[in-house]
Amino acid sequence: MVEPIVQPDPRDRNLEARIGRLLGWPLGTDGGEAVAVGDLIVRAGDDPAVIARRILRTDGGPAELANLLRRTRLDGEPCPDPDGLALVILSSVRNGRTGHERPADRGALALILVPSLIAGLGLAGGLSPYLAILLVGAGWIVGWKLLGRD
C-alpha cells in the first residue's frame, strides 16, 4: 500500500507563536487601560485562542478580524479603517512582529538623511567629493548606531 504524501500546511508553521502575537497586539487604550486584540475577543464573549486560530488559519480571517475591529470603540472612538488595520495586523503577526517594536528615532534618521542632503548640495556647489563621502559616511554610521541596527 502506498502512503499518501502529506504536505504540511504553511499556515500551521509557528501557529502558537503567531496566536500569541495576535492576541497581544496592542490597539490603544480604553478608560486608561491598555487594550489588545485578545481583550476584544474576550469582550465579545469568545475564547481568544479559538478565535485567533480561526483568524490565522482560515481565508476569512482578515474579514473576521476587521468585523471585530469594526464593533470596537476605544475611548469612545471607532476604528477609522478596520479592514486596513486588520490586514496590517495579520501581515505583521505573520512576519514575526508584535506591535511593541520601538518606533523609529527621528533624530537618528535625521543623522542618516541630513548629511546626505548637505553633501549632495555641497557637491552641486563645488564641495570636494572626498569631503562629501566623509560627511555622508559619518552621518550614516552615527545614525545606524543610534537606531541600534549595527
Hey, where are the domains in the chain? 10-94, 106-147
Give the DSSP letter of residue 54: H
pLDDT tens sequence across 98-124: 666 555 556 666 666 777 777 777 777
pTM of the model: 0.60
C-alpha cell at 76: 469612545
* Residue, of 52 and 133, whose pLDDT is higher: 52
Which pLDDT does position 62 carry in this prediction?
92
Helices (H) and strands (E) counted in the chain, each on its own, are 7, 4
Q: Give the start-end residues of each E strand in the chain.
A: 26-30, 33-36, 73-74, 77-78
The mean per-residue pLDDT over the stretch 135-150 comes to 68
